[in-house]
Amino acid sequence: MILASEAFIGEHIHNYLRQTGPCLSPFNAWTLLKSLETMPVRIAAQVRSAGQIADYLADHPYVARVLYPGRPDHPQAALVKKQMFGRRHASSPSMSRAARRARSKWPMRFPSLAISNNLGDAKSLLTHPATTTHQRLNPEARADLGIGEGMVRLSVGLEDVDDLIEDLGAALDILGIEARRAAE
């Protein structure tokens, strides 16, 4: 159902529907239905991996803070426990000040992670909210939301969790070494 004026529908929606079709093709519908069959298994694997990665990152010396709903140190842990089953699969680690100085190089340091502003894929993705999803906000508004220049958002996919942890650890160690050199 589209609630809009007749003029808006005629000018904007009608042509779009005529060109794209208002319904899924049979093949796309079948593909969507097949993916729903394995969705619980995929999400369970992502949730398990995300929890392990969040715990690893929380103990890493170059990570200043981890915001992960499944951890007891999350600011809304009590609410999460009441409203959610299990743990969530997105994590927002914030790099330490030293690692932040080398931030311009961080995308190249994560071989198994894609850089994107679109989270929730079967592949693990990184995004930098200050320059992607929240770029239109001024620094003060981002700070009010807890989004600093050092925050990196990680959406955990279906890759092997040990590979992801190894890549994250190696990348953070390189960033830490580069940051120390830059500070000297």
Q: Is the pLDDT of residue 11 over 90?
A: no
> Would you state the pLDDT for residue 99?
45
Q: Phi and psi at residue 18, in whole multiples of 5°?
A: -65, -40
> Would you state the pLDDT for residue 98?
44
Distance CA 83, CA 79 (A): 6
> Would you state the pLDDT for residue 164?
92
Distance CA 43, CA 29 (A): 21
Give the pLDDT confidence of 126-175 residue by residue, as tens digits.
887 888 888 899 999 999 988 888 888 888 889 999 999 998 888 888 87
> Would you state the pLDDT for residue 91?
53
Buried b (16+ CB within 10 A) or exposed e, 13-28: eeeeeeeeeeeeeeee
Distance CA 152, CA 5 (A): 41
> Would you state the pLDDT for residue 96?
46
Q: What is the token pair recorded at 100?
A: 């932040």
Give the pLDDT confidence of 105-125 residue by residue, as tens digits.
555 566 666 666 566 678 888
- Of residues 19 and 72, which shows the higher confidence score? 72
The winner for highest mean pLDDT among 99-103, 161-165, 174-178 is 161-165
> Would you state the pLDDT for residue 87?
54
Q: CA 100: distance to chain centroid?
A: 18
Which residues is 28 bridged to in the sheet? none
Give the pLDDT confidence of 34-79 residue by residue, as tens digits.
988 998 898 888 888 988 999 999 998 888 888 888 888 888 888 8
Closest CA to 94 of 23, 172, 33, 10: 172
